[in-house]
Chains A and B, each alone.
Chain A
Amino acid sequence: MASSSHIQNSEALETETKRESQLAAERAKKHLKSRRAREWRFKLWGRAAVLFALASLIWLLFSLAGTGFTAFQQNFMTLDVELTESVISPDGTRDPQELRGANYRRVLQETMYDLFPEVTERRERRDLFALTSASGATHQIRLMVYNDPSLIGQTVTLTVPTSDNVDQLLKGYIDRDLPESLRKVSNEQIVWIDSLKKRGIIKKKFNTILFTHPDSRDPELAGIAGAVVGSIMIVVIAFLLALPIGVGSALYLDEFAPKNKWTDLIEININNLAAVPSIVFGLLGLAIFINFMGLSRSIPLVGGMVLALRAFPTIVVATRAALRSVGPGIVNGALSLGASHTQSVFQQKLPLAAPGILTGSIIAMAQVLGETAPLLMIGMVAFVTEVPNSVTDPSTALPVQIFLWSDSAERAWSERTAAAIIILLVILILMNGLAIWLRNRLEKRR
């Protein structure tokens, strides 16, 4: 009896457990389904995010390339300029000082008027003269005569940029179909431009000026050479200062410093420093380097020092992460073979962490290259017409140049701003590419 009831009981239990497990399976299936749905949704969101980021990037690049690409070409005019002695050196002394200040505008005017002898009225002549880049062309003549006074009296052939308006018209940025009053180029000027184009005097060429000239007030004469050299100086100084100090502090904090309140405080502060708005570093630089130490405004030396402060926390954080990623086995191995702590750190750990440190530093340098706000405080947002020769010459930086150009009134600046941004992006891509290449190379070695 007892046994049969036991059997009955166990049977009932079995069916019970079966039903239960069936239920559980159903529940599990349901759960599994919802879990898969969640996974699927997450993947979808992820893809959407990546797609959105890509689309924004592509849109940015295309809009930049669309406006900026035309700036890499520019319209030039080839002129035969007669260097009349009676205009340049009326008294025939050819004194260098006098040659510098001579009336080259007059020489250039005569050249332009000769292109269209039928134009005689004063106002028309002024419009005709406006086709050429007055500042650029006169300076080119000035340099030529100043360097070689024997040219006076001869006729020389010059290639000078057209004025920005002519260039914009020929590139299609100024609409010919608009009513005359709404254009910066008059009907007459369009006729002249077309005629010069037909005669082969105006030709489109690669815009070397953009790469070889410093900043200028006239868009057709403006280049990024000064800003690029300034930027290179700043990045190099920032790198030379921030890398040793940054790596050194990270090594000390991670490997040698005692763990106490003070080192904790320093650690928190360094991490905090990485998030401080960069203009604060500019204020600091202004107070210390310029007001206290008495260095000049607008020089790359100060810019580099200020941005070294900016790069320092990034380098420290990257270095510490790289040091921690080195497995303990290697250090322990070195210690067990009798190496001192210092030896194990410098001979084993640091070389293995080097790729990570390098990547971190190069990214920090890319940050430095793109920084504008702190440079505003130390006077590097400035108009400088010379490529700096040393770190103590006044200079600007590439992002500052972009900022200044974007705020200028003439239409021709917009394509040049976009072109400068393209160049900045290319430099950044090259720097990041270098980081990846170096990392791969160093990782292969070990």
Chain B
Amino acid sequence: MTQKAIYFALSVVMALTACQDPSLDLTSAKSSEIRVVGSSTVYPFSTKVAQEFKNITGHNVVVEATGSGGGHKLFCSGSGKETPDVTNSSRRQKKSEFELCKKNGVKGIVEVKIGYDGIVLANSLTAPNMDMSLKDIYLAFAKNTPVSDTDCTLRPNPYTTWSEIKPDLPATRIEAYGPPPTSGTRDAFVEIAMEGGAKEIDCLAKLAETDEGAFEVAAHTLREDGLWIDGGENDNALVQTLVNTPSAIGVFGYSFLDQNIDKIKGARIEGIEPEFENIVAGEYKVSRSLYFYLKKDNIDFTPGLKEYALEFTSDQAVGEGGYLAEIGLVPLQGPEREKIRADVEVLKTYSQ
């Protein structure tokens, strides 16, 4: 009995395994959904558009969070059905990535700027309020800092408490949890906050003009003595850490501050609160642009691709009070938005 059952089961299994083969052909024929890859910062906005777009048009959009760098790599692997149609990016496409695209035969790329994202330095509600300048940020987190404003001899960062940098900052230990090096948020934090802070020091500003490489090393290297801690990509865990460790500061995107205002608060930077209105107005300094890149070559065989881009740039999505603003995207201002919308309508390609 048992043995017959086993033989039967085995033969069924074999038969079914064999059946797998014909379905393989289907995969190459079927690729009607829009494929989006890229930045995990843009992911929440991209998925929202994907959902609304699917509801309205019925086109299926699959969004993968691969990170900005991973997204460009996949996007530029070639043109054709099996390659992504769109990549999200929390920074501009690099020259090298653009070259890779060209090399692999991607002919037309449409660059679409969708809005801004603030990067906040937040701490627990129970911790003291912080008000820092970009220079303070640079002095707190750089690996090597100049001896003085005029003498740019670099020495290992001597600061261990905030009050050593500026007396009106709290006398607590510098302890920051930030995004890991693979993150676009980290790139943006380094490029905007650290570099901006470094340029406020006279001799480093001069160095930036004379020796760009040396300046970048000085400005972009974060300290490695344990006071800056590379957190994971999970920002919810980071928020929890901040609540449990009131002395710590966390670096992450504005939307996580917005969703956790009952637990954490953002530090003022150059006296400006990290608030929606301030980021829109461009007064809050540490904010970056978010983009997506569309492969024009794929429009012919990915139905709905252009319409997806139009939905992403429509008033109901990125307009004032649009559904993306509701979930924390800081939208572009009127004239710039209209220009970008017009570019999408004619699918204007860009080059670097």
* A interface residue numbers (CB < 8 A to B): 100-101, 105, 126, 130, 134-135, 138-139, 142, 174-175, 178, 181-184, 216-218, 237, 240-241, 243-244, 293-299, 301, 346-347, 350-351, 354, 379, 381-386, 390-392, 394, 404, 406-411, 414, 442, 445-446
Contact = CB atoms under 8 A, between A and B. Distances in A.
A385 B23 CA distance: 23
Interface residues of B, number: 59
A350 B3 contact: yes
Contact of B51 (A135, A382, A407): A135
Nearest to A123: B321
A100 B56 contact: yes
B160 to A, nearest CB: 31
Given A382-B65, A383-B43, 5 more contacts: A100-B57, A182-B262, A218-B51, A350-B3, A350-B6
B2 A383 contact: no
B55 interface: yes
B20 A295 contact: no
Contact of A174 (B23, B262, B326): B262
A383 B23 contact: no
25 contacts: A126-B321, A134-B323, A135-B51, A183-B262, A217-B51, A296-B30, A297-B64, A301-B20, A346-B3, A351-B6, A354-B2, A354-B6, A383-B65, A384-B62, A385-B54, A385-B61, A386-B54, A390-B26, A394-B33, A407-B236, A409-B236, A409-B258, A409-B328, A414-B236, A442-B2
A394 B31 CA distance: 10
A12 to B, nearest CB: 74
Contact of A135 (B3, B27, B52, B262): B52
A216 B255 CA distance: 18
A445 B2 CA distance: 8
B14 interface: yes
B261 A181 contact: yes
A383 B47 contact: yes
B44 A409 contact: yes
Nearest to A417: B236
Contact of A381 (B64, B125, B261): B64
Q: Which of B26, B55, B56, B65 has the most chain A CB within a 10 Å cutoff?
A: B55
Nearest to A408: B44
Contacts of A218: 51
A413 to B, nearest CB: 8
Contact of B30 (A182, A347, A392, A414): A392
A299 B23 CA distance: 12
A406 to B, nearest CB: 7
Nearest to B4: A351
A105 B321 CA distance: 13
A296 B82 contact: yes
A381 B40 CA distance: 11
A248 to B, nearest CB: 9
B245 interface: no
B44 A217 contact: yes
Contact of B1 (A100, A404, A445): A445
B26 A392 contact: yes
Contact of A241 (B17, B23, B48, B234): B17
Interface of B: 1-3, 6, 10, 13-14, 16-17, 20, 23-24, 26-28, 30-31, 33, 35, 37, 40, 43-44, 46-48, 50-52, 54-58, 60-65, 82, 125, 233-236, 255-256, 258-262, 316, 321, 323, 326-328
B114 to A, nearest CB: 15
A216 B23 contact: no
A240 B13 contact: yes
A298 B261 CA distance: 36
Contacts of B326: 130
Contact of A407 (B52, B62, B233, B328): B233
Shortest beta-carbon contacts, A-B, top 9: A383-B63, A409-B259, A382-B64, A383-B47, A217-B48, A217-B47, A394-B62, A139-B55, A351-B2
A392 B2 contact: no
A217 B61 CA distance: 12
B6 A409 contact: no
Contacts of B6: 350-351, 354
Given A299-B27, A381-B65, A411 B44 contact: no
B318 to A, nearest CB: 15
Contacts of B54: 385-386
A142 B27 contact: no
Contacts of A407: 40, 233-236
A101 to B, nearest CB: 5
Contacts of A391: 23
A282 B198 CA distance: 42
A298 B259 contact: no
A383 B48 CA distance: 10
Nearest to B10: A244
B334 to A, nearest CB: 18
A184 B44 contact: no
**Which one of B3, B16, B57, B262 has the greatest number of beta carbons of chain A within 10 Å?**
B262
A383 B27 CA distance: 19
A222 to B, nearest CB: 10
A186 to B, nearest CB: 12
Contacts of B35: 297
